[in-house]
Structure 1
Amino acid sequence: MKLRKQVTVCGGAIFCVAVFSLYLMLDRVQHDPARRQNGGNFPRSQISVLQNRIEQLEQLLEENHQIISHIKDSVMELTDTGAVSPSGHLPFRSANGSWVLPFDGRPTFLAVKPQDCQFAVGSNGQADVQMLDVYSLLKFDNPDGGVWKQGFDITYDPDEWDNEPLQVFVVPHSHNDPGWIKTFDKYFTDQTQHILNNMVVKLAEDSRRKFIWSEISFFSKWWETADIHKQEAVRKLILGGQLEIVTGGWVMTDEANVHYFAMIDQLIEGHQWLERNLGITPRSGWAVDPFGHSATMPYLLRRANLTSMLIQRVHYSIKKHFASTRSLEFMWRQAWDTGSGTDIFCHMMPFYSYDVPHTCGPDPKICCQFDFKRLPGGRINCPWKVPPKAVVEANVAERANLLLDQYRKKSKLYRSKVLLVPLGDDFRYDKALEWDQQYINYQKLFDYMNSHPEMHVQAQFGTLSDYFSAVYKANGVAQGSRPADYPVLSGDFFAYADREDHYWTGYFTSRPFYKSLDRVIESHLRGAEILYSLAVANARHAGMEGRYPVSDYALLVDARRSVALFQHHDAITGTAKENVVIDYGTKLLRSLIGLKRVIINAAHFLVMKNKEFYRFYQTEPFLETDDRRATQDSLPQRTLIELDPAGPRYLVLFNPIEQERLCVVTVLVNTIRVRVLTEDGQTLPVQLSAQWSSASQMSAEVFEATFMVRLPPLGLAVFHLYDSPDSPMTLRSDTLLRLSGRGATARAGDPLPVRSQQSDPQTFYISSQSLTLGFSGITGLLESIKRKDDPQEVKVQMQFMVYGTRPSKDKSGAYLFLPDGKAKPYNQKEPPVVRVVEGPLFSEVVAHYQHFQQTIRIHNVPGVDGFSIDITTMVDIRDQTNKELAMRVVTDIQSGDVFYTDLNGFQMQPRHHYLKLPLQANFYPMPSQAYIQDSNHRLTLHTAQSLGVSSLESGQLEVIMDRRLMQDDNRGLGQGLKDNKKTANRFRLLLERRSTGNKMMDSATTSFPSILSHITNAILNHEILALPVLPKRRGIPPLQTFAPLKSILPCDFHLLNLRSIQSQVTRQK
């Protein structure tokens, strides 16, 4: 009763305020003090002004009357039900044609406390070497450096080591790609299993022998088939320090295209396996093959308790600069760290490659002579035409001195008298003969060096941690601590070039279909982990663990490992052979199907009102999946919900993010007679639209039903869908086809009304309560954005461009981007068909071109979902030859030569467009977002898949959408990129006004997304899953909303995962 009174009073108060406001406005028109008192003799012009004002007021009165009647209805419903009902806030069309959604009384945004931003406002971290400064400083020229082509001549004084001998650690390794030229399984069968089998035997022959291994995906597969004796031998080798597991990830992850969710997950998968099976935790990181290095990786390794790390593929000009300043070893610190809590000791390898010719010293002609796999008679030789010689008593002195000269020269590039010399290459040590060739010959060299004190050297085999420990000891500091006068560095190492102007920036986009699929599966994996953990906890609490399919855990493990495998630096990068790509895709699809099953099973249990009615049948699922994929390379087909007049269909919606979500959801139905009810029987407004089979052809059997929902964080909500002939709440979209002369006629026979007109050059608009978008009448593409809270319209022009590749010599391929100059505008002879759809919940413009189709949609909802523009660009360039399609956004934002791209969805990195660098060098990875800004606005492009991005002119952002290349680029793949798919690239475009406060937070080295931007990215990357309940002969038991959180989490909080870990006890059972 008390609530009813309060609500009535509140409604009455709002009514009074509205009426009083109108009275004041009328009063102001009648008694304007600025008006000259002419005793009633009004000039005609003033009378017409007055008439206009009265008409405007009448319009205002009408709109206010509508609003007041809606408020009244809401008040009535509130008093009747005593609850906030979604149907009490129905959309209605105002006099100016735009749809209005009455405010529902709940705040959209939470207040941000000043201390929440202290992290960003604090002074920047102090670094001796800031990579942005290094890029500004270097000329990036390429003079001939002599034997070290990309470097310089190294000299030394022979008695430099008289007081402190040179300590040399030769570290044997074998780089095993989990898929590249062969599939993961083929590599394992042909090579990897033999490497590990030989390792067990050969390391045991001599306790001085050492070896390192990094890829747990391979190691775990080998372990499963290894007998108990081999397993014990491995444990003994690890315990004795002969074998070290480095990094310990499932793979040696790519660092450009991967999202930090997957980087962490593959690291956990590897580390969990090591802990369970070997009882060890890795200490040192080893990344010799990723094509450029991200600052996120050192942060994650440090958080995983590693103390040191090694990197290799860095631009040759940077390597040369670091070598000349002896900065190849440094403490790598996060740009935003004001202390030293994120520091990790990092070793950068100085030369061209991680193979033997480029690891003993500056002269590959000499180093190659110490790769004993290349002894005459073998299958590989030295390109420098001087073969290795087996070490015998007659030549050991000459061989040892020749090698020591290289060791000494290399050591001059570092600050300590401890030297690291890796000894290995791809899939090395697969034959017992090679183990003998390398270990026996090197041991003879070490024995000679160590027995001649006048050489002042102590040489031995070592692991990576042996080397790092010796460096710390030589500098008198604890493990992982900063040695005195070693530099602190912050920044990252993109883009990478290994020679000339060969920038590895093509792989930021290569095979975008799979980059997109990867992120879909990551989102499903996270959702499945969360629901499984919650369902198992609930089942245990209810004493029903025996009836819940706990065995779904095996599906989670399979998916974790498929996703982890795909983070490999030849998988997500798009740089493997076509049959290997199919193998990855097949594994990913199998996992996606499994994850959908986990989600369905968990959701089924959690929405049951009475858990006693819960029954699990393996062959008879309770829910359907939201969509299906026919093959690993096909786009998803959304599930059709077939409505029947006989009774309702139930729909379960899963919100995988940790924030309450007010948004629109679209499902496919088989009828235009749709009614949607909430769990408590409230009717929701529905926008009914056509499903289009082509640019201008709609389906007669399938329709889109869109409705607005409010979903609990990490929760499941239940809705009822009816085939109902009379539903005043179901409103049809207003559809207009803009055609260019052809077929601009009245259309008959369409199940939903469609108007068509001849296109004209005039700009046309769509709008919501938050945004108004302008579109070109000619191209049908976006021209401008105006936020309702901003007086300024901002030019945001969408353009499509095409890059070719160089006409001769080196051409673009899977790795390299080598364009034939600036991009040219995309042109097609026929003008596009443009479809404009408007309605109460969303409006969209779809432009159909030959090689792409772009959908730009805005949602008419209050809050986060209504502030950004939803963009889907369907790309199909399968009929092109050596072409790359780019989407360019041209604005009047004065961004100069600065733009910002994310590193792994984890942090933002400022970038500069350098004219001194070739065009391709100015592209960077964009795993989740990029933005440009000036003092008034920031424009952020959020992405649901990793792609290459740049800003080649002030006010521009440019994204490479897909690349089709007919040739190999000489980096070992031996293929071009000809297996393109029809790909849906998804984005959100967010325009924000900048306030004085957030300008302060940006510095030359750091920048941060807004809270709105963070949540926009989350809703793009974690879509709502719509799971229809399958019709049952026995009827559907009562279902209810599942809301796991007692209270709402702060909006600056993100739950990365809720990952169940199998206990040792369960595993042994």
Structure 2
Amino acid sequence: MKSYRNILLVVFLTLPLLYQAFPLEESVKEVTCGYKACHKTIPGMINVHMIPHSHDDVGWLKTVDQYYYGSKQSVQRAGVQYIIDTVLRELQENPDRRFIYVETAFLWKWWLDHDEVKQQQLIDLINSGQLEIVGGAWSMNDEAATHYQSIIDQFTWGLRKLNDTFGACGRPHVGWQIDPFGHSREMASLFSQFGYDGLFFARADYQDLNNRFATKTTQMIWQGSVNLGTASRLFTVAFNGSYSPPSGFCFDINCNDEPIIDDINSPDYNVDSRVAEFTAYIENLASHLQTEHVLVTMGDDFNYQDAAQWFVNLDKLKKYVNAKQEEGGRLNLLYSTPGCYLKALNEANITWTVKEDDFFPYASDEHSYWTGYFVSRTTSKYFERQANNFLQICKQLFVLANVEEAYENHLNNLREAMGVMQHHDAITGTAKQNVFEDYSRLIYEGIQHCGNITERALSKLSSSDLPFVSCLLRNVSQCEPSENSKTFMVTVYNPLSHEVSYYVRLPVLGTAYSVRDASGNELKVQMATIPDPVRNLPERNSNATTEIVFLANNIQPLGFHSYYITELNSTDDTRRNELESSDTSIGNDVLQAMFNESTGLLQSVMFNNEEITLHQNFRYYEGWAGNNSQPSLRASGAYIFRPYGTSVQVSPVVETKFYKGELVEEVHQEFTDWISQVIRVYKDTNHIEFEWLVGPIPVDDDIGKEIITHITTDLVNNETFYTDSNGREMLKRVINFRPTWDLEVNEPISGNYYPITSKIVIEDASKDLRLAILNDRAQGGSSLRNGEIEIMVHRRLLNDDAKGVGEALDDEAFGKGRIARGKHYLVVGPTTGSGNLSLAAQERLLAQEKLLSPWVFVTPLNISFDEWTSYTTEFSGVFQNVPENIHILTLEPWKNNTVLLRLEHILENNEDPILSNATVVNLEELFTTFVIKSVHESTLAANQWLGEYGRLNWIDTSGVGMDSWEVPNDIPNITLKPMQIRTFIVEVTR
């Protein structure tokens, strides 16, 4: 290894050797894109920036392919291929016209579907600035249920396709998040780190928008991060709640509005009335803005399938409104883009207010809080999280094992499926049932494709030709190779940047097993009873009644350990659980959970001999069954959470069985025939695991139900709690309060629900106590009363909420309501923590371990232990542990013999006295399987070099401007500050 490091000292260069990673400027025709392509505005006039656009959902009422090809027109009249075709034709007709496009998934599908002539037409229009790419990710992602790692990945992939195909003119300058149902602060931070100049969106709380229109603050500076300074600020434009055209001015084939008829001899001539109507609308809108620039969205869902119908009328509207200038008219209509609108606002040289919180929850009226989708289709949310886990492993192993380039299409398959899944009607659970079946197909096929890569990589790294099988049904205690093999190998891969220990649980048919590592050491084994409700799941195809449990200890970072497992011929009672029916507690040396002997419910937790009152039970809300004819009759549905009354306890008494062994202690609880739970404490952990099983939710009483896990403590948190923003920075939440306006409370439950992507926290300063619940998928929840936390885990509803999907959220599988199984992790104790880490730091590390959990591969064997030891059974992809507060966020194959590498600091300022400090990492000492020749730092999305672009500067009302992103000169010993992510294109040799 020392020789590698000496080589690195010589060849470690930061010269721009990797410019081939980004395409050169185009030489075809003159390039006049970007701000150079903007039409001139007229000072002193109301400049009306018309933005022709189409909002193309990557699946919603139809599947991705059905939307692209235009099939199933009876469901929705929509065909994306026709949109792009006809827009290109109409832009070529008139160079004055403009159009924007957003979803790279559809644009790339069109690109592959057309010949070089059509492709060149698209390139020319992008180079001329007539067609501006905005957003640029694979899909327009949701901002509540998405994790920042998946957001970054899908932007990286979409922007790479644009960069490779169109060069600099294809790089977006602005975010275009017009349809997501609420907006996260972390998303603003990510856009700023992508190098974008601004963000546009339509949906914000109706009270918030009313206040902003009254105070002329719909355009603002958004502070994206409290940790990263003013460089993370993003200029933000909020529309009037809609991305549709003004009422009466939709000229699409899907609309019924009158065209502009300018034949003065026609009895239907309407120019004067249409101009007057449009002028009145614009003047009213302009009165609520700070500048003389007004943005008007001219488009809607799947508009421009016959683009001529739009552009002919927009040409006329522009012509006749501008003609009024000769008569003293104040309006100047121009074709524009979001980028050009930003440029005009920036050149106004005025100051702007600063937004520091987020835009959750979103309400469209007094009874329509869009907080139900935080939980809708909870099993899909879990599947997406598992797919992200596997995608990171797939990418890492591709690089570490130097998998052949021919396999890259397998990787792209899961990359693109995950990009689709971030869409704001996919991860949200707000598409039709058949569309979700297609989303699941895409994810499943993507995982299978990546399985080819992991199997090839592990075969190379282990010097074997063995199969490495992923058991995707371990969540229901089903795994064919562990159940049907007398001898098998378990390989545990650790995708994290530090050493971890992991409890492996696999269903088996035998009663006793031996587990050995390559040195012949026998590991402790516990046979754990599979709960009866799990064994009886209708989708489960397994006869296993027990799981083998063992600790895979000290798995190296980006590495694996393999274990040789053999079923024993005779039953060894020391390896079996004993039923301890008289016990009322479970735990380990530092953490115990105590249960009420009469009710079977959790009643307290003991941490380091300090007892904390803590009750846990399941409750449900009845879903409001309105007909949606008016706000007061709004139904609870896929989007909307609207409970009818307060929550109802599922059961005051539960059946319990206690199991204890050398590795884990657990209690099995049955609340009803459709809710059960396992609460467990492993021997050397500082958290309690709750594994819940909910469903089928009964609706025989014609009442939809929304199920919550409910925790009650004696902590006094003063109606204040904290939730994460996309798994990253924490935000303070206060019941019945919004930081930027006086809230009128109409829905006190759903109006206080917030997205929980990774955790929710309450604190009691007087007791110096902190309690956090971490989850395994995106959910929603709150702390409605002192000392309480509730998290919604599953929903089944019988009414549509009239927000577009047209179906009740009556999710079914196997002819019954869908069953969901998932986990929560409870961490409690003094805020200062124990040992060397604060509790917040412990939570950060635990969240990392649950997000990117070690992955278990199972291999049936027919060889002896001695033969097995000839293979490589231990591997580490890095030389040593990365510091605890640093994580290798991305390691993936890039192009031209390069690797994409991201490192992140996972703590915020002041979360820990030590780990919240800036930390240095030596890149030359990271990886074991390749040598780094050169490194060049890029923006977060890896589509342009850091420092080689200039963002627009915006000044706030106190006179503070925006810092540029620092371009450190510190390679190879890079410094990472709290919450900082740094991205590198790395040239390597093997």
TM-score by length of 1: 0.72
Please give the residue correspondences for 1:1025-1064 in structure 2 after superposition, counting only pairs within 5 Å.
1025-1032=855-862, 1036=868, 1037-1063=870-896
- Say whether residues 1:625 and 2:491 are aligned partners: no
Aligned match for 1:256, one of 140, 144, 167: 144
Q: Which moved more, 1:771-780 or 1:209-218?
A: 771-780
Quote the Cα distance in structure 1 between the aligned partners of 2:491 and 2:534: 31
Point out the structure with the larger helix share.
1
Q: 1:330 to 1:636 in 2, by over 3 A?
A: farther
Structure 1: state its 5+ residue gaps: 1-160, 358-367, 476-483, 537-547, 609-613, 616-620, 739-756, 758-762, 1002-1007
How many angstroms does 1:439 deviate by?
3.2
Quote the Cα distance in structure 1 between the aligned partners of 2:164 and 2:523: 51
Quote the Cα distance in structure 2 between the aligned partners of 1:1051 and 1:187: 45
Aligned match for 2:100, one of 194, 198, 212: 212
Aligned match for 1:194, one of 75, 78, 82: 82
CA deviation profile, 1:799-838 (whole Å, cap 9, x unmatched)? 211111335432111111111111111138xx64322110
Residue matched to 2:241: 352
- Say whether residues 1:824 and 2:648 are aligned partners: yes
Give the residue type in structure 2 aligned to 1:854: Q
CA contact (8 A) 1:688 1:730 kept: no
Q: 1:503 to 1:784 in 2, by over 3 A?
A: same
Give the residue type in structure 2 aligned to 1:553: E
CA deviation profile, 1:456-494 (whole Å, cap 9, x unmatched)? 43321111111111222232xxxxxxxx42112111001
Question: With CA pairs under 8 Å and 6+ residues apart, which has the higher RCO, 1 or 2?
Answer: 2
Q: Which moved more, 1:765-774 or 1:987-996?
A: 987-996
Question: Which secondary structure state, in structure 1, belongs to the residue aligned with residue 886 of structure 2?
Answer: coil
Give the residue type in structure 2 aligned to 1:606: L
Give the residue type in structure 2 aligned to 1:441: K
Quote the Cα distance in structure 1 between the aligned partners of 2:335 and 2:637: 39
Please give the residue correspondences for 1:91-490 in structure 2 after superposition, counting only pairs within 5 Å.
164-190=44-70, 191-279=79-167, 280-337=170-227, 339-349=229-239, 351-357=240-246, 368-373=247-252, 380-381=255-256, 387=258, 389-392=260-263, 395-449=270-324, 452=326, 454-475=328-349, 484-490=350-356
Q: Percent identity at matched positions?
A: 27
CA deviation profile, 1:827-881 (whole Å, cap 9, x unmatched)? 38xx6432211011100111123121111111102xxxx0011111111134323
Residue matched to 2:488: 649
Residue matched to 2:24: none
Aligned length: 811
Q: 1:675 to 1:305 in 2, by over 3 A?
A: same
Quote the Cα distance in structure 2 between the aligned partners of 1:997 and 1:718: 32
Point out the structure with the larger strand share.
2
Residue matched to 2:656: 834
How many angstroms does 1:241 deviate by?
1.0
Quote the Cα distance in structure 2 between the aligned partners of 1:996 and 1:707: 28
Q: Which moved more, 1:655-664 or 1:452-461?
A: 452-461
Quote the Cα distance in structure 1 between the aligned partners of 2:535 and 2:492: 31
CA contact (8 A) 1:214 1:246 kept: yes
Residue matched to 1:565: 420
Q: Which of the two has higher C-alpha Rg?
A: 1
Residue matched to 1:637: 478
Q: 1:468 to 1:391 in 2, by over 3 A?
A: farther
Residue matched to 2:562: 718
- Say whether residues 1:494 and 2:360 are aligned partners: yes
Quote the Cα distance in structure 1 between the aligned partners of 2:534 and 2:274: 73
Q: 1:954 to 1:472 in 2, by over 3 A?
A: same
Aligned match for 1:511, one of 377, 389, 400: 377
Q: 1:433 to 1:700 in 2, by over 3 A?
A: closer
CA contact (8 A) 1:170 1:420 kept: yes
Quote the Cα distance in structure 1 between the aligned partners of 2:230 and 2:535: 60
Q: 1:730 to 1:311 in 2, by over 3 A?
A: same
CA deviation profile, 1:394-446 (whole Å, cap 9, x unmatched)? 75455434422322221222211122111111111112452344333224335
- Say whether residues 1:576 and 2:461 are aligned partners: no
Aligned match for 2:623, one of 805, 809, 815: 805
Please give the residue correspondences for 1:1003-1042 in structure 2 after superposition, counting only pairs within 5 Å.
1010-1032=840-862, 1036=868, 1037-1042=870-875
Question: Which secondary structure state, in structure 2, belongs to the residue aligned with residue 297 of structure 1?
Answer: helix
How many angstroms does 1:213 deviate by?
0.7
Residue matched to 1:903: 725
CA deviation profile, 1:907-958 (whole Å, cap 9, x unmatched)? 1111111185222101111111101111221111000111110111100000
Residue matched to 2:614: 796
Quote the Cα distance in structure 2 between the aligned partners of 1:655 and 1:255: 28
CA contact (8 A) 2:225 2:232 kept: no
Q: 1:448 to 1:730 in 2, by over 3 A?
A: farther
CA contact (8 A) 1:212 1:246 kept: yes
Q: 1:353 to 1:490 in 2, by over 3 A?
A: same
Q: Which moved more, 1:459-468 or 1:1037-1046?
A: 1037-1046
Please give the residue correspondences for 1:45-64 in structure 2 after superposition, counting only pairs within 5 Å.
none
How many angstroms does 1:389 deviate by?
4.3
CA deviation profile, 1:517-566 (whole Å, cap 9, x unmatched)? 11011111111111111111xxxxxxxxxxx5543321211101111101
Structural RMSD (CA): 2.8
How many angstroms does 1:1025 deviate by?
2.0
Quote the Cα distance in structure 2 between the aligned partners of 1:635 and 1:727: 25
CA contact (8 A) 1:331 1:487 kept: yes
Question: Which secondary structure state, in structure 1, belongs to the residue aligned with residue 658 of structure 2?
Answer: strand
CA contact (8 A) 2:772 2:827 kept: yes
Please give the residue correspondences for 1:824-973 in structure 2 after superposition, counting only pairs within 5 Å.
824-827=648-651, 832-848=654-670, 849-861=672-684, 866-880=685-699, 881-914=703-736, 917=745, 918=747, 919-935=749-765, 936-973=768-805
TM-score by length of 2: 0.78
Give the residue type in structure 2 aligned to 1:1057: T
Q: 1:681 to 1:379 in 2, by over 3 A?
A: closer
Quote the Cα distance in structure 2 between the aligned partners of 1:950 and 1:600: 42
Q: Which moved more, 1:311-320 or 1:440-449?
A: 440-449
How many angstroms does 1:310 deviate by?
0.7
CA contact (8 A) 1:643 1:721 kept: no
CA contact (8 A) 1:939 1:989 kept: yes
How many angstroms does 1:730 deviate by?
5.5
Aligned match for 1:707, one of 540, 545, 550: 550
Quote the Cα distance in structure 2 between the aligned partners of 1:723 and 1:379: 65
Quote the Cα distance in structure 1 between the aligned partners of 2:254 and 2:87: 21
Give the residue type in structure 1 aligned to 2:121: A
CA contact (8 A) 2:779 2:793 kept: yes
How many angstroms does 1:690 deviate by?
3.3
Residue matched to 2:940: none
Quote the Cα distance in structure 2 between the aligned partners of 1:1031 and 1:997: 43
Quote the Cα distance in structure 2 between the aligned partners of 1:283 and 1:178: 22
CA deviation profile, 1:498-517 (whole Å, cap 9, x unmatched)? 12221111111111010111
Q: 1:274 to 1:701 in 2, by over 3 A?
A: closer
Aligned match for 1:530, one of 393, 396, 405: 396
Give the residue type in structure 1 aligned to 2:565: L
Aligned match for 1:660, one of 499, 503, 523: 499
Structure 2: state its 5+ residue gaps: 1-40, 71-78, 627-632, 738-743, 813-817, 900-990
CA contact (8 A) 1:640 1:669 kept: no
Quote the Cα distance in structure 1 between the aligned partners of 2:599 and 2:390: 36
